[in-house]
Chain A
Amino acid sequence: MATLDSKIPQGPLAEKWSNHKAHIKVVSPANKRKLDIIVIGTGLGGASAAASLGELGYNVKVFCIQDSPRRAHSIAAQGGINAAKNYQNDNDSIFRLFYDTIKGGDYRAREANVYRLAEVSNAIIDQCVAQGVPFAREYGGLLDNRSFGGAQVSRTFYARGQTGQQLLLGAYAALNRQISKGSVKSFPRHEVLDIVLVDGKARGVITRNIITGEIERFGAHAVVMATGGYGNVFFLSTNAMNSNGSVAWQAYKKGAFFANPCFTQIHPTCIPVHGDQQSKLTLMSESLRNDGRIWVPKNKADVEALRAKKKKPSDIPEEDRDYYLERRYPAFGNLVPRDVASRAAKERCDAGYGVNETGLAVFLDFKTAIARLGEDVIRQRYGNLFQMYEKITDVNPYHEPMMIYPAVHYTMGGIWVDYNLMTTIPGLYAIGEANFSDHGANRLGASALMQGLADGYFVLPYTIGDYLSHEIQSPKVDTTTKEFDEAEKSVRDRIAKLFSIKGKQTVDEIHKKLGHIMWENVGMARTAESLTKAQEEIRALRKEFWADVKVPGTNEEFNQELEKALRLADFLELGELMAYDGLNRNESCGGHFRTEYQTPEGEALRDDEHYAYAAVWEYTGPDTEPKLHKEELKFEAVQLAQRNYKD
């Protein structure tokens, strides 16, 4: 049985990474040529890892479900990427970025990993500029920065509202260069459906060609999961439609432990839900909170008038507006972390101050900023976001405030990894959002891009060499062995079973039911009661799925319903583990808010004495309870404290 060894290097925090790098093994160029690595996913983590590993001389195969690596969901990240450059002379430093990230994560992340993240952040910006990423610049020609939630310094680098796109195009270009050289082979429109283990080590994958349905086998000396998060378990989220948790879930069922599955980020600034035909939610970048002010009316009469469309928001005078974030958190104001801003919006809407017909919306207003800076400056900063908002809602945000509401956005939980980013399965790595390691119970804005690229460019290429140095005598993986036979058979059986049900409900109809259970019971506010209820309802829905789902067509064709059914089958198990984990954690921290555990002011109330650990779950079988392992979190450089964004 796998055990939990985080492999945190000895020594002072600031020297751990340097010491570790100095002592781990490397692989000679001649031997790298003989070693195969599979990378699953081509977002910031996957593309940067595949490109960097290809440059080093390994044979890399990279898989993605989209028609091109460039379309991975990292492309949709808007606001920016953090780094401790201190270009603004505002007293930023590696320690401050580390500290803000640990505190923002509500003290539930591993110190050593977070420090390393802050440490390599500066190299990421250098790398991206060298690749030709057109970051925003000042008139003097140097790089510009903006502020983001949870920080009092300006350390966020950005490319208009399309930072994720530009960073991904940089990593994709580096990947393209390796593809043209032949060191990386790319397999777009290929979905990995299982991880193959030989003698306990990850040795390959089973894939389905999305166009032809062909099931194929690929072998390698190491496998890297860069498959993103599992927010789509909620059906409605800001994730892309095809984002899914299936590779992580299959790895879990093969023995990779899953950490903190209940840590979900609900992003405060999304366009509100309009109706039950909606397929996804659209994020409005957190960067908008630099200049936008969030408010609801002070008086219920104004709320009623707004809902009845008898008043426009601009009709409500300043003295009748409740800028509730500025009121509650004077020091950080509109730039509090995401979990705090989301809960505050929910609190106002629950109290009856929601400003649209559904009662689930608050205003994000640019009136003050436009008066101070002029419409042109606001257009330069956020033009594409304002355009996107207007196209979706038909409201011009230069004249009337935006309406926003929290929505599922990111999952801090994920596959457990040690300091080397290796899972509990030897040779299987998890990077980026797919792992659990850096963001604790809440991720700060502009830190996901930082982590994806840190893992892919600067961490994994070093640590994977240490593992592969022991594999230089291993021959090419033979994919005709019984392990590959069995894995392929289980994939074929799963697909055949889905077609055999011939039920009455479509995949989307069942997925919407799951989303409803998750949002109501495992969403922004959870209780022991709701989490227990969720488990029961998910188990019942899972039975319903396997008895009544209708998957049309055959495997041997381009079949989008089959793709969705395979992913939903995994979400129907993963959702239950999320509820299980939430029920185990009898405290509130970051995005995990248990209504029973709050301060008199309504803030998250942690229990450091009993829950200062990562909850790490081991799969024990289809009908048995998962086994809990605890990774105790030891804090040496920071003092555990109640998060304070008030003063």
Chain B
Amino acid sequence: MNLKLKIWRQKNAKAKGGFEMYHVENVSPDTSFLEMLDILNNNLIHEGKEPIVFDHDCREGICGMCSLHINGHAHGPDTDITTCQLHMRKFKDGDTIVIEPWRSAAFPVIKDLAVDRSAYDKILQAGGFISVNTGGVPDANAIPISKKDADESMDAAACIGCGACAATCKNGSAMLFVAARVSSLAKLPQGRIEGARRAKAMVAKMDELGFGNCTNTGACEAECPKGISIAHIARLNREFLSAKFED
């Protein structure tokens, strides 16, 4: 396959960025999207040009390190996968592909296609945990949990923290990310104990960090590579409201 690539280049966080055009040739349809960028970078180095910076690590869709808006879609045109799992067979020979970094006020560009997502860490540091120290905990089977609740908790816990939800949302809201963690812990008896404190602390931190509000467009759910449902946002809202009543 031969492809034209329109890629966002930006020297550093302060520099003004812009699109540049590139060409890659003889790409196998079985190649992954990031391998296609590897080929481009290898060519650029030989041509004495600066290779394109992009975040990636596990290349099997679980670490959440890769990002990229591809032709206007977070993680590209395919559903339920991350960019690293996208393969070139989803494109046609001769296509022009537009590649941009996440666009969100809370995720500033660091360089080229890499952005700063440390805001997500900060939200989880505000309360995305159960306050138990190592040791001195009960036997694992001491608290039976219904299979349904455990499964729902796991559905929410599948979030990989990639940032596609906030980057896709027209308001730049992190509600799906926050809801996934709150909901996962809220479905378990261990997590219920500090449920109210957790919901308030995480929402307050999200607001403080400049993420927008949720207006229920559902765009986050549509682009989430792990298919996290916006039903979790409803649960987060219930948790948050009942926490307010407790005040």
Contact = CB atoms under 8 A, between A and B. Distances in A.
Contact of B134 (A125, A394, A457, A558): A457
Nearest to A137: B150
B123 to A, nearest CB: 10
A141 B130 CA distance: 20
Interface residues of A, number: 79
Contact of B191 (A125, A132, A177, A552): A132
B97 interface: no
Contacts of A127: 132, 134-135, 137
Nearest to A278: B35
Contact of B87 (A160, A275, A392, A560): A392
Contacts of B60: 76, 280, 282-283, 388
A162 B60 CA distance: 12
Contacts of B53: 558, 560
A52 interface: yes
Interface stretch (B44-52, B171-179, B214-222, B238-246): B44-52
B38 interface: yes
A176 interface: yes
A68 B121 contact: yes
Contacts of A138: 147
Contact of A388 (B42, B48, B85, B158): B85
B38 to A, nearest CB: 6
A349 B39 CA distance: 30
A143 B141 contact: yes
Interface stretch (A14-22, A166-174, A610-618): A166-174
Contacts of B116: 67
A279 B42 CA distance: 12
Nearest to A161: B62
B110 A275 contact: no
A180 B126 contact: yes
A85 B161 CA distance: 32
Max chain A C-beta neighbours (<10 A), residue from B45, B62, B110, B114? B62
A393 to B, nearest CB: 8
Contacts of B130: 130-132, 173
A44 B132 CA distance: 17
Interface in B37-81: 38-39, 42, 45-46, 48-51, 53, 55-65, 78, 80-81
A129 B150 contact: no
Given A73-B63, A136-B150, A279 B87 contact: no
Nearest to B44: A552
Nearest to B162: A71
Contacts of A241: 56-59
Contacts of B126: 180
Interface in A130-156: 130-132, 134-143
Given A506-B42, A558-B111, A179 B137 contact: no
Given A66-B63, A211-B110, A279-B35, A174 B129 contact: yes
A75 B30 contact: no
A549 to B, nearest CB: 10
Contacts of B139: 126
A279 B32 contact: yes
B131 A177 contact: yes
A173 B137 contact: no
Interface string B94-119: 00000000000000001100101110
Contacts of B34: 279
Contact of A126 (B51, B140, B147): B140
Interface string A545-576: 00000101100011011000000000000000
A179 B123 CA distance: 12
A387 to B, nearest CB: 7
A67 B65 contact: yes
22 contacts: A71-B63, A127-B134, A132-B153, A134-B157, A141-B145, A176-B129, A180-B125, A211-B111, A240-B63, A278-B35, A279-B32, A279-B38, A388-B61, A388-B85, A391-B87, A458-B135, A461-B134, A508-B38, A550-B46, A552-B51, A558-B53, A560-B53
